[in-house]
Amino acid sequence: MSALPVSPPPAARYLPPSIAGDYTELTPKQTELLAIAARLGREKFAPRAQQIDRDAVFPFENYADLREAGLLGICVPEEHGGWGADFATYVMTAAEIGRHCGATALTLNMHVSSTMWTGFIADDLDMTPEQRANHEAHRKVHYERVVKQGKVYSQPFSEGGAAAAGKAPFGTLARKVEGGYIVNGKKIFASLAGAADYYGILCTLDKPGATQRDSLYLAVDKNGEGVSVTGDWDPLGMRGTVSRTLIFKDVFVPEIERLIPEGLYAQAALRWPHMFATLSPTYMGICQAAYDFTVQYLRGEVPGTPPVKRRMYPTKQIAVAEMKVRLEQTRAIFLQNARAARVDPSKEIRLGLYAAHYTIMENANEICRLAVRTCGGQSMLKTLPLERMYRDSRCGSLMLPWTAELCIDRLGRECLYEAGEQDEQAVL
Ligand SMILES: Cc1cc2nc3c(=O)[nH]c(=O)nc-3n(C[C@H](O)[C@H](O)[C@H](O)COP(=O)(O)OP(=O)(O)OC[C@H]3O[C@@H](n4cnc5c(N)ncnc54)[C@H](O)[C@@H]3O)c2cc1C
């Protein structure tokens, strides 16, 4: 008589599904990138996530892996040596990474945005032939740094005032001088502070009467004279982002470091609103991860824990069903929004975008909350990933320019008013 198997055969275990739901709708490039992200996430990022979170240190080892896999160039156009991923392809890949390490996905987003804004987004903007030629020359330099030298860019725009919410010009100023700009200012919550090779800052061209239309997007060398990192970093969640404060004091930035032509950032912000929605994929990943953890935990399949099953209690089954409903609602709106991204979206697409961003950010925290409540006390020990996901998930809806509050603010206003419409007299 043959011995009984000690553990169930692999097929009987819970197999976490693709972040994209159904693989049949994916392009070959999407399938390939998702497979790479899933492998790196499972084998490298997840095992390192606890220490990165505990020590609030930047995930340098994960970046070495991302570099080796070519993922730093995921949105660099193919003709410049990158993967040439479009919006949907990138956000699905980012969500897969976020499933395993939130801080890695969120910081990668800051880097990738610099290549996306200068890449397919800039391609869709109106430029004069001179601006286009100038942009081509500039981005060639930046893409070579990313693809050939593995350089990393960050994206500090927050300053603590109204600028990051899109309500005022950036307080960081760039004065035009021979061969470039002199930059002065301060950026708070600058993820990858001290870790990125270049800080892709948003600032305002220093001239009388400057408005938001005079925003500039410049890459500042982290070792440039006058650049410093200050402040400590000991936050609730997303601790591996190391989002400290950057100070720029009379920093000379050569003209070639201008990432898009002068005046074009404002056009991009107006015509390509999905450019601000790249923070939420990380949190889509957390939604899926918290659900996966719960199913594995209740089935007694979480590695390193006793194989105790808790799935037979009706209350657990109801709770998992509620989580699954919320997860599928989140995934549906995530994928729909990802595939709808384009220049000059219709009003319905724009409203759907705010709704998607809001839903993903809020549901990440809600699904984590349900996961902790459902799995119980032992599940929130720091040796397990759930309590980190719970803390990380809280950060999403706080992130400008589209915090949960500001999404609601925009949605309410834009649902009730058409462009340029005003009330004849104040109601209140
Ligand atoms: C983990 C993490 C990483 C981050 N990384 C980066 C980064 O790499 N780059 C970067 O630029 N920023 C980054 N941020 C910063 C983030 O985008 C916000 O700028 C930051 O959280 C602002 O916090 P605050 O409390 O100063 O916001 P405040 O400006 O004080 O706003 C508080 C709240 O008030 C609301 N609010 C703000 N302005 C308005 C307004 N005009 N009208 C109505 N409501 C408003 C918003 O809902 C906001 O959440 C990061 C934040 C976190 C948590």
Question: pLDDT per residue over 65-81, tens digit each?
Answer: 999 999 999 999 999 99
pLDDT value at residue 164: 81
Do the domains 154-268 and 272-416 sit in the same CATH topology, yes or no? Answer: no
Kindly report the protein residue whose alpha carbon is nearest to atom 16 of ligand 1. 399
Q: Which residues have CB under 6 Å of ligand 1?
A: 110, 155-158, 160, 162, 164-165, 167, 189-191, 238, 241, 243, 395, 398-400, 403, 405-406, 409
Closest CA to 279 of 196, 400, 120: 400
Q: How far is the CA of 399 from the centre of ligand 1 (A)?
A: 5
* CATH 1.10.3720.10 describes domain 154-268: no
pLDDT value at residue 166: 80
Kindly report the protein residue whose alpha carbon is nearest to atom 43 of ligand 1. 406
CA dihedral 303→306→307→308, nearest 10 degrees, is -130
- CATH assignment of 272-416? 1.20.140.10
Across the strands, what pairs with 244? 190
pLDDT digits (tens, 9 = 90+) for 236-291: 999 999 999 999 999 999 999 999 999 999 999 999 999 999 999 999 999 999 99
Q: Which helix (H) or strand (E) holds 227?
A: strand 227-230
Q: Which helix (H) or strand (E) holds 216?
A: strand 215-221
pLDDT value at residue 10: 55
Q: How far apart are CA 154 and CA 145, in angstroms?
A: 14
Task: Please state the pTM of the whole predicted model.
Answer: 0.95
Q: Where are the domains of the chain?
A: 16-152, 154-268, 272-416
Arch. (CATH architecture) of 16-152: Orthogonal Bundle (1.10)
Q: How far is the CA of 409 from the centre of ligand 1 (A)?
A: 15
pLDDT value at residue 426: 60
- For ligand 1, what atom is nearest to the CA of residue 158? 11
pLDDT value at residue 424: 80
* Residue 91 near residue 74 (C-beta atoms within 8 A): no
pLDDT value at residue 6: 53
* Torsion over CA: 340, 341, 342, 345 (sign): positive
Q: What parts of the chain have a pLDDT lower than 70? A: 1-11, 425-428
Q: Which helix (H) or strand (E) holds 357?
A: helix 347-375
